[in-house]
């Protein structure tokens, strides 16, 4: 599995991009996408909504289960990926690219984000 | 209690194929190899290869084997010809369903009962106890067989390339001994996918060899290894009940809409007869909840245990639900009150984590193959 080195991660298997003009992009990792199986439904937070680091902000439904989506950062949603709402399989096929989930204008720096090395170590045993 | 999961004879092969494994009734089984949706579609349009070695085989032999089965089960086993198979139930004294079974008549006085993995021990114990007064031997054959299934429209062609057995003469719900790829096998035209297909009972020592031969034979026609996840969506589309979901000890076959499997006309008593006669009468006068199909108008998936609602009232419960790859929409089986069970009944929905999502009531199955 190839987690991009430039991203930051969470224990709940979300990834977080570099912050550009105060805005970061959020998705779930390939590890999470594989564990879920085929994603068939994505409920994403809405533009304008305020999310809090570590709290649920949506859900991802796969053939066998439904999983809460946690926000890895606190801030205001500035965009939700409509492509994923229309075609949830993008989360499986391109988790780090076209399958991104939402963009957040950060209100503070994330406290619990993991580095590439820390996340790789976390998932290595699996 | 925590014990190590049991492994099938194909375990190493599954891992080499990169399968995602899951615990199922104490067995470590392949859930999927890559995408369960692709595996599902392959079985519908080409072919899929399953390892079902977790299923429980029990053999009854002897002059009174059939009498013992007629007493132990609700079906009329004495009408099953050699080489044929029958779907039936084993019930408690109170009529509750212990398991659903397939009984194969392998010879004049030899029958093989196939039970669900989760119930194999219970069924073995019940058959042993119920057969005690008859001249028959009940044999635990769970370790004697590995079970491979080839399912899908290409399966007859794949199998024909590996066997001299008369597959054209082998009807649906029939099974006879033969040889596949040089391996002795009981070849049965049964399955749980709604497609044409075969189940091959073989000695575990031959399982890998047979799997590889089938894989090679199916290479050119799109055969793929298929896991339990797609088996579940396939059987759901085909409207087939699953023990623990549509069938439980708290339901009789009449409650499950399967009263036709109970054969009161057979000779002699059978376990559950009195209770089932009462259940049949009750079902005729006042219909119990009915098993129906639900098709989502939206995209959220109903799961087992979710309430079915109408005008804010609970009118039933989902027993199985999944996104249907064939229909492209979430589907479910549910028991609902008779007045809301008619196909097209309006205003019916499923409470999905607090939101009432509209569903269309339809007759089962969702999918029927073209013959």
Q: What is the mean pLDDT of chain B?
A: 96
> Do residues B349 and B310 lie in contact, with contact meaning Cβ atoms separated by under 8 Å?
yes
Partners of residue A68 in chain B, C-beta under 8 Å? none
Contact B330 A40 (CB under 8 A): yes
The verdict on a CB contact (< 8 Å) between B37 and A34 is: no
> Average pLDDT in the B173-189 region?
96
Query: What single-letter DSSP state applies at residue B300?
Result: P
Averaged pLDDT for residues B138-149 = 98
- Residues A12-42 have pLDDT tens digits of 999 999 999 999 999 999 999 988 989 999 9
What is the predicted pLDDT for the residue at B2?
58
Kindly report the pTM of this predicted structure: 0.91
- Which single residue is written with the structure tokens 């709940």? A12
The conformational region for residue B146 under phi > 0 = left, psi -120 to 50 = alpha, else beta, is: beta
| Closest CA–CA distance from residue A92 to any residue of chain B (Å) | 9
Report the relative pairing of strands A23-28 and A14-16 from DSSP bridges.
antiparallel
Task: Tell me which residue in B299, B300, B323 faces A63 most closely, judged by beta carbons.
Answer: B323
Would you state the structure tokens that stand for residue B178, as one six-digit string?
Answer: 């033969």
CA-based nearest residue in chain A for residue B230: A63
**C-beta atoms of B301 and A92 within 8 A:** no
* Euclidean distance between CA atoms B115 and B103, whole angstroms: 9
CB-CB under 8 Å, B20 with A61: no
Task: Please give, rounded to a whole number of angstroms, the shortest distance from the CA of B320 to a CA of chain A.
Answer: 11
Q: How many CB atoms lie within 10 A of CB B121?
A: 14
| Residues A66, B35: C-beta atoms closer than 8 Å | no
Which residues of chain B have a CB within 8 Å of the CB of A34?
A: 20
Q: CA–CA separation, B351 vs B316, rounded Å?
A: 11
Nearest to A64 among B229, B330, B353 (CB): B229
* Span B87-121, pLDDT tens digits: 999 999 999 999 999 999 999 999 999 999 999 99
Helix H segments across B35-136? 36-45, 65-72, 120-130
Retrieve residue A7's tokens. Answer: 């991203």
CA dist B329 and B341 (Å) reads 20
pLDDT in tens, A87-121: 999 999 999 999 999 999 999 999 989 999 999 99
- Residue B287 pLDDT level (bands cut at 50, 70, 90): confident
Number of residue pairs across A and B with CB atoms under 8 Å?
Answer: 37
Q: Which of A31, A32, A35, A40 to mutate to test the interface with B (most CBs of B within 10 A)?
A: A40
End-to-end CA distance of chain A: 11
Tokens of B102: 């397939």
Mean pLDDT of the B50-72 span: 98
């Amino acid at each position: 599995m190839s987690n991009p080195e430039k991203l930051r991660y969470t224990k709940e298997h979300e990834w977080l991009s570099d912050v550009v003009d105060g805005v970061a992009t959020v998705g779930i990792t390939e590890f999470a996408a594989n564990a879920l199986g085929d994603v068939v439904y994505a409920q994403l937070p809405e533009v304008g909504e305020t999310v809090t680091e570590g709290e649920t902000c949506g859900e991802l439904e796969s053939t066998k289960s439904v999983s809460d989506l946690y926000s890895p950062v606190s801030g205001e949603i500035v965009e939700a990926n409509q492509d994923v709402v229309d075609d949830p399989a993008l989360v499986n096929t391109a988790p780090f690219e076209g399958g991104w989930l939402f963009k957040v204008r950060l209100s503070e720096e994330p406290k619990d984000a993991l580095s590439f090395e820390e996340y790789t170590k976390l998932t290595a045993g699996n | 209690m925590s014990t190590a999961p049991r492994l099938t004879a194909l375990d190493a092969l599954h891992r080499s194929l990169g399968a995602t494994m899951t615990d199922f009734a104490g067995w470590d089984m392949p859930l999927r190899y890559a995408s369960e949706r692709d595996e599902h579609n392959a079985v519908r349009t080409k072919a899929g290869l399953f390892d079902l070695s977790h299923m429980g085989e029990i053999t009854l032999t002897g002059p009174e084997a059939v009498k013992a089965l007629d007493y132990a089960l609700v079906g009329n086993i004495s009408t099953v010809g050699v080489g044929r198979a029958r779907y039936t139930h084993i019930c408690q004294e109170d009529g509750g369903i212990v398991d659903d079974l397939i009984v194969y008549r392998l010879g004049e006085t030899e029958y093989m009962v196939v039970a669900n993995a989760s119930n194999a021990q219970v069924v073995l114990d019940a058959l042993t106890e119920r057969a005690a007064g008859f001249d028959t031997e009940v044999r635990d054959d769970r370790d004697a067989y590995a079970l491979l299934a080839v399912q899908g429209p290409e399966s007859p062609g794949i199998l024909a390339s590996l066997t001299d057995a008369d597959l054209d003469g082998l009807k649906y719900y029939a099974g006879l001994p033969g040889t596949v790829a040089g391996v002795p096998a009981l070849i049965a035209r049964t399955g749980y996918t709604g497609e044409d297909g075969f189940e091959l009972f073989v000695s575990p020592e031959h399982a890998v060899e047979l799997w590889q031969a089938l894989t090679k034979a199916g290479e050119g026609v799109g055969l793929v290894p298929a896991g339990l996840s797609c088996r579940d969506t396939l059987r759901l589309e085909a409207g087939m009940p699953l023990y623990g979901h549509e069938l439980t000890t708290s339901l009789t076959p009449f409650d499950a809409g399967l009263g036709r499997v109970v054969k009161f006309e057979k000779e002699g008593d059978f376990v559950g007869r009195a209770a089932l006669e009462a259940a049949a009468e009750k079902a005729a006068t006042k219909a119990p909840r009915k098993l129906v199909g639900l098709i989502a108008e939206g995209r959220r998936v109903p799961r087992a245990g979710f309430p079915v609602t109408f005008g804010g009232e609970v009118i039933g419960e989902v027993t199985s639900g999944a996104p249907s790859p064939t229909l492209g929409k979430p589907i479910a089986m549910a028991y609902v009150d008779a007045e809301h069970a008619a196909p097209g009944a309006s205003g019916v929905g499923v409470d999905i984590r607090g939101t009432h999502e509209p569903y269309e009531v339809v007759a089962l199955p969702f999918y029927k193959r073209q013959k």
